Structure 1
């Protein structure tokens, strides 16, 4: 009988000798933790939570890096009956002020009663914790483990709600997605069902952040449920040195690894030819690509570069999913070359119809539904036939319970029959799903709908522009009677191309790729474009900053900035502790 709750699946995995997680420390160095050892520590953590007064059903925010501590804390919350809410650590120090604001908002929105972090991040959380003022303050994993080491863990079932995952917030504020045990376990099993053969015979590698649904459910939980060995890298290590991802796959003979489109592009560009001879990617049979629009050109370049290392085109597996559906919605068939279909651009933009053609726009098929139904609907909510572009709706066991404590927002997203409006635009062609983009991001010019991702693709290959670092949107220029297209693009830090020439090259590239005339291309410094916690560019926020002339490069990260932020954080932690006794005495 399959476990119905996550704690049961965790404890079942802990019974398997040797099964666990490897944490990548570098070539030839892996810190391996069995689930049995993790379960021992997680049980102590859970008892520590209970001794601090955490009750079943209460939310506990986790601000942790990838490592054993995340596993201990996340599963420890589950064992205690608490609801883990994973938040992202401060990844971009130059944007730490924005991170403080967002973190405080998420702590308040989730009604978290405690924040659990690690010593190196404690100071950064001073201001958010002071603002949100969780009942049980902020502590670290080791403190709770030691507190609960000799305590008896009480049964902590918390009911249906298992965890809270925040949506990426690419078109607005991140929303708290409430997920049940059934949501998460069924979605993990659906993912495993698409792998060839016995899941336990596979080996995974992931650098995806564990606060993101693809990292948490698609990697951490799927590996646990499938009793699959997995090796984890820290996201920051991958970004700093992309070859580490491939080294881990090569050394562990991994068969499965997943990443967003940008990661395949970054790796193709940053891995040197001299490093290829030490890589053997012949074991990598399932290379899932999702979490953001899939660009065929990017993946074609990746295949070409790493074919000499044994990487096969058939391994590329485009997928589609979103937090509100737990994670996975559709998968391309594994062990089959990805399907890039060419559609008439004019028909897509003017008639919102997908007509296959010899020339036009190449779009990636995202495969067929996983354990769910998919419908494409028009603005009136009526089902559209195949090849018509509309809003993607879905229904199935992965659809969230709702947005946490937000019934109005939930009713807007999920209709009475259980259909979720994903907020994405796409179409079905020959039974397979194709994605155009986010409905709120559509650029409408003279009655024609332009998907910004397709406009931004026109900049791929332009020397001096960072790949995947541009945002297209519409504005109404002064004294104009119709909106026009603006593109903001980050220039490469090492580019020697003159700004005027680079701008002209961008205009020409977009017009050549799309036949569209762009009103303005604004070039900005690397890191300027606002992003979500998962790295997606926030186009609507970029548009607001452009219109208010507030697009500015992030503050340069240096020792002075770190010391300043830590001092600020310790001040707020101290102030909050001093206020505590005063509140109690009052």
Structure 2
């Protein structure tokens, strides 16, 4: 049975119809770990009842279009209030729990300043943390409240003529990850979200009754839309566990998937790597991943060896060889652009790195001998999804197959711009190609993703980000490639994060800041740095003389785990990187050298 979301006026109506078709089915479960005997579960009807009661309470206090900051952990209250905002015509603004880290607290404050919420909701100690952040930034008048309990009984039917959101009503401000700059609020309407979820559900084959299992937080677009909203609108069952539980015991994610027979899950590349490296053989016993049809790998660059190793390691638990599906999407497109179709093994090409890195005319050139750089394909969007073109970012002209350029998108699911940033929105969401004809003026404009990629034989290959690209000696180098290669240089770096970026000194020079195992003796640090320098210089054919080793947590990441390379570059240039050891070129700026000692 396929999922039909066409014709719905808003997300609340779509969810209500799905509830009516199966009110007693489980809709939401909070997984408390394999040692627990009970896992709280809400049926579709109970979740709908709670959401409608919360919507009625919010409607009595606020005006449609008001923003509601949701600073709650992934749990029933967050899901209920998210749905309540959609039903009431308020704008849901999901944010990370502020007490989880300094980065999370900074992000909450930045988002609150940007969107000026009418209400913030947080629980326990987080409520005071949010209130303090808002007071510190001149937003002390914003009420910060506990989610509260839901009263018994049914919500009254809205009176005749009561406000109902339409397809063009703003539903969610989804803040981008901030991996390349300050978070920006993507404006997503009810129609945008419905269109994107319909495409995702159709392309991944979601059917009523399918279970979705996740640990990724719901303030992230992959969690909120890719998993939660897709499950709710397809008649599925979402099973959630706290992100911290996954970090402490990665095997619990896989046990969740097996216990509930989950057909779908999603995570960034690093999560699959953690499972492969940190789950011992003894914990494989009893795992059953045979029901998993699609495991989306997205949100950060996809490492082919990680996919291969995960698939091989967990084959004994019934994992299908085609289960891992490279996914490409972003908050500006709600979440979903394209995935490898279920049942298809991802295409992997081995390409000539010299042609890939040519700064003047980069392209995908498949090598004949099998030596080179591995890149993974994503199927191009299907007919009911967005249009996709590869465009020269300098000239605005469409590029042919194999040529690497900027990925431009248009069509259903693309957001309406960035909140309160009309000039940036016009440049990013209203682009025109130089080779469009005169009729293009009346057509939907293009969204400039900022991502680099190429099309070949119907597949999209994503190669990097324009803002993070390192141009050295006429070559384009991708930071994720240097970071992956560095981790292979010494065992003490395996499983830790690195950030590669370029700095002017006065020419462009590469710097790598990398976390290291804190237990390593101090006398071993120069050995590690030298090993990294040797490996990167040989592997990429350019001198990489600047390596800074820092403690775990010394490399900044977004709350969804993406490396904040731009922030690390600024911190390094300001002399703010606290190094355990540094090998630095004397030609670097003095402030950077002083900080990295």
Structures share fold, TM-score greater than 0.5: yes
Equivalent in 259, 271, 295 of residue 263 of structure 1: 271
Q: 1:134 to 1:33 in 2, by over 3 A?
A: farther
Aligned to 1:228: 236
Structure showing the higher helix proportion among its residues: 1
The 2-side partners of 1:553 and 1:45 are apart by 49
The 2-side partners of 1:400 and 1:84 are apart by 15
The 2-side partners of 1:162 and 1:17 are apart by 24
* Residue-by-residue CA offset, 1:458-502 (whole Å, 9 max, x unaligned): 12433011436111111233xxx5211111111124445811111
Q: Is 2:126 the partner of 1:137? A: no
Kept in 2, the 8 Å contact 1:83–1:161? The answer is yes
* Number of residue pairs matched by the alignment: 545
Aligned to 1:560: none
Equivalent in 412, 421, 429 of residue 397 of structure 1: 412
Q: Is 2:576 the partner of 1:550? A: yes
1:136 CA drift (Å) = 4.5
1:542 CA drift (Å) = 0.5
Helix, strand or coil at the partner of 2:322 = helix
Q: 1:57 to 1:167 in 2, by over 3 A?
A: same
Q: Is 2:122 the partner of 1:117? A: yes
The 2-side partners of 1:79 and 1:132 are apart by 30
1:192 CA drift (Å) = 1.0
1:263 CA drift (Å) = 0.5
Aligned to 1:474: 502
Q: 1:92 to 1:464 in 2, by over 3 A?
A: farther
1:344 CA drift (Å) = 0.3
Q: Is 2:296 the partner of 1:288? A: yes
Q: Is 2:529 the partner of 1:490? A: no
Aligned to 1:530: 556
Higher RCO (C-alpha 8 Å, min separation 6): 1
* Residue-by-residue CA offset, 1:240-278 (whole Å, 9 max, x unaligned): 211110000111111211111011011111111100012
Helix, strand or coil at the partner of 1:459 = helix
Report the RMSD for the aligned CA atoms in angstroms.
Answer: 2.1
Q: Is 2:172 the partner of 1:167? A: no
When normalised by structure 1's length, the TM-score is 0.89
Q: 1:173 to 1:265 in 2, by over 3 A?
A: same
Q: Is 2:119 the partner of 1:107? A: no
Kept in 1, the 8 Å contact 2:87–2:165? The answer is no
The 1-side partners of 2:303 and 2:521 are apart by 27
Moved over 6 A (4+): 147-152
The 1-side partners of 2:113 and 2:499 are apart by 30
1:449 CA drift (Å) = 1.3
Q: List gaps (5 residues or longer) in structure 1.
A: 555-586
1:527 CA drift (Å) = 0.7
Q: 1:99 to 1:71 in 2, by over 3 A?
A: closer
Kept in 2, the 8 Å contact 1:257–1:288? The answer is yes
Helix, strand or coil at the partner of 1:437 = strand
Aligned to 1:78: 86
The 2-side partners of 1:129 and 1:507 are apart by 44
The 2-side partners of 1:147 and 1:102 are apart by 36
1:405 CA drift (Å) = 2.6
1:153-552 correspondence to structure 2 within 5 Å: 155-159=162-166, 160-196=169-205, 199-350=207-358, 351-357=361-367, 358-370=370-382, 371-378=385-392, 379-415=394-430, 417-461=444-488, 462-467=490-495, 469-477=497-505, 481-495=506-520, 498-552=524-578
* Residue-by-residue CA offset, 1:375-422 (whole Å, 9 max, x unaligned): 111111110001111111011111101111321111010126420000
1:92 CA drift (Å) = 4.1
The 2-side partners of 1:91 and 1:465 are apart by 28
Helix, strand or coil at the partner of 1:26 = coil
Q: Which stretch has the larger CA shift, 1-10 or 440-449?
A: 1-10
Aligned to 2:439: none
1:146 CA drift (Å) = 5.2
The 2-side partners of 1:240 and 1:373 are apart by 40
Q: 1:550 to 1:537 in 2, by over 3 A?
A: same
When normalised by structure 2's length, the TM-score is 0.87
Q: List gaps (5 residues or longer) in structure 2.
A: 1-5, 432-443, 581-597
The 1-side partners of 2:533 and 2:240 are apart by 41
The 1-side partners of 2:397 and 2:42 are apart by 51
The 2-side partners of 1:185 and 1:5 are apart by 8
1:121 CA drift (Å) = 1.3
Aligned to 1:576: none
The 2-side partners of 1:303 and 1:434 are apart by 21
